[in-house]
Amino acid sequence: MNNFEFSCPTKIIFGIDTIKKIRDEISHDKKILITYGGGSIRKNGVLKQVKEALEGFNYSEFGGIEPNPKFETLMEAVKVVKEGSYDFLLAVGGGSVLDGTKFIAAASKFEGDPWDILIKGAPVNDAVELASVMTLPATGSEMNCGAVISRLSTKEKFAFMSEKVYPKFSVIDPQTTYSLPEKQTVNGIVDTYTHVMEQYATYDVNTPLQDQWALGIIKTLIEEGPKVLREPQNYDARANIFWCATCGLNYWISLGAVQDWSTHMIGHELTALYGLDHGETLTIILPSLWRTMKKDKMEKLAKMAIEVFGANEFLPKSLLADITIKKTEKFFNKLGRKTRLKEYGINPKEAAAEIKKRFSQRNTVLGERGNITADVAYEIVANA
């Protein structure tokens, strides 16, 4: 196991009717800006619950943060925060709202051009305090310090991480997810599946506990995923899926292990170029990436075939790895998700050429062994 350090200051408040608890978590002298997206929280009554909980507090609202939150919109919010001297941001919505809010928090205290946080990895030394009421199980953003931001003008999508943007607390009431459109429920399940895989399916450095945590999340997704689609108001299934999403990207499962975020990095380019949902890009890229990089990922994929899919341990490793790839694709299909670029009306070779060009320009090299070059990325996308 590799050395690691871990600390996460986020308090998780999980369960039925927990939104009202936010009033106990925010100091009364704070000037609060509630941030949200396109209005789902108005329709499903979440905003009303938040406002009831904040009765007597000093707050205003900033709405309109898009899915794949846009730098341009977030900079408008930064202006509001600075001009209004807000000192607490409460993100209410999905991963995009929370990610956007993390960026607003950092950019509001940043000296210089905030785009540098994303493009140059400029250090975030300070941020406005923030917290979340999370309504979509997918990103794990509620318990991590990462955020992914897109820029409309340049069709780019980049991530940043900073300990300064951990939410102070995150409220997760799984009832808020009853109103999710099926497409978003599926996006959340496949995003979680892929997060777990990007931390698990690399090379083995002897982390059996982390591996079992990871595979436990996968088994739970396979059992509970179809259940939430059949019964969208099944509280326990919704709760289990949400906790899978949170634990899928709070980085517990990758402690001391080796990670590979190349499916995400290639997927972000597909979103930036073609506007596909984050979850859609992952189901397209993950199976193709595994086929291309099978030799590197053989041990872990074979172990997963035995532990998760009940395959015979005496089969050759290469066959076992194939079983995991096929079963994963089948699971995505069972959730109603297409796994081929063509099925989204995108020409694979054209997409591959564009991504290769971008990776070459940026000298991007991915993969746990640093061997997913621009040329290998071309092959992965062209075969997706």
Q: Which stretch, 157-165, 188-196, 199-207, 358-366, contacts Zn ion (CB under 5 A)?
A: 188-196
Of 158-166, 189-197, 232-240, 294-302, the window that binds Zn ion (rule: CB under 5 A) is 189-197
How far is the C-alpha of 372 from the C-alpha of 348, rounded, in Å?
A: 18
Contacting residue, 2, 4, 6, 39, with ligand NZQ by CB under 6 A? 39
Q: Binding of ligand NZQ at residue 99 (CB under 6 A)?
A: yes
Residue closest to Zn ion when measured from CB atoms: 191
Interacting stretch for ligand NZQ, rule CB under 6 A, among 49-57, 107-115, 176-184, 217-225? 176-184
Q: Which does 240 bind (CB under 5 to 8 A by kind): ligand NZQ, Zn ion, none?
A: none
Q: At 362, list the tokens.
A: 């940026």
Q: How many CA atoms lie within 13 A of 263 on its CB side?
A: 32
Tokens matching residue 124: 């975030």
Q: Which is nearer to ligand NZQ, 250 or 324 (CB)?
A: 250
Ranges of beta strands (E only) in 162-298 are 169-172
Q: What is the DSSP letter of 166?
A: S
193-219 b/e with 16+ CB inside 10 Å = b? Answer: bbbbbbbbbbeeeebeebbebbbbbbe
Phi-psi region of 121 (alpha: psi -120 to 50; beta: other; left: phi over 0): left
Distance CA 278, CA 258 (A): 23
Alpha carbon 65 to its chain centroid, in Å, reads 16
Give the nearest distance from C-beta 191 to Zn ion in angstroms: 4
With beta carbons less than 8 A apart as the criterion, state whether 330 and 338 touch. Answer: no
50, 71, 81, 93: which one binds ligand NZQ (CB under 6 A): 93
Q: Which of 99, 191, 307, 322 binds Zn ion (CB under 5 A)?
A: 191
Of 290, 298, 284, 381, the C-alpha closest to 333 is: 284
- Which among Zn ion, ligand NZQ, none contacts residue 220 (Cβ within 5 to 8 A by kind)? none
User: What is the contact mask toward Zn ion in residues 210 to 229, using x (rule: CB under 5 A)?
Assistant: --------------------
* Interface with Zn ion, residue 99, by CB under 5 A: no
The interface with ligand NZQ within residues 119-158 (CB under 6 A) comprises: 135-136, 138-141, 144, 146-148
For position 68 contacting ligand NZQ by CB under 6 A, the verdict is yes
Tokens of 92: 């209410």
Count CB neighbours of 8 within 10 A: 15
| Binding-site partner at residue 68 among ligand NZQ, Zn ion, none, CB < 5 to 8 Å by type | ligand NZQ
List of residues contacting ligand NZQ (CB under 6 A): 37-41, 44, 67-68, 93-97, 99, 135-136, 138-141, 144, 146-148, 176-177, 179-180, 184, 187-188, 191, 249, 264, 278
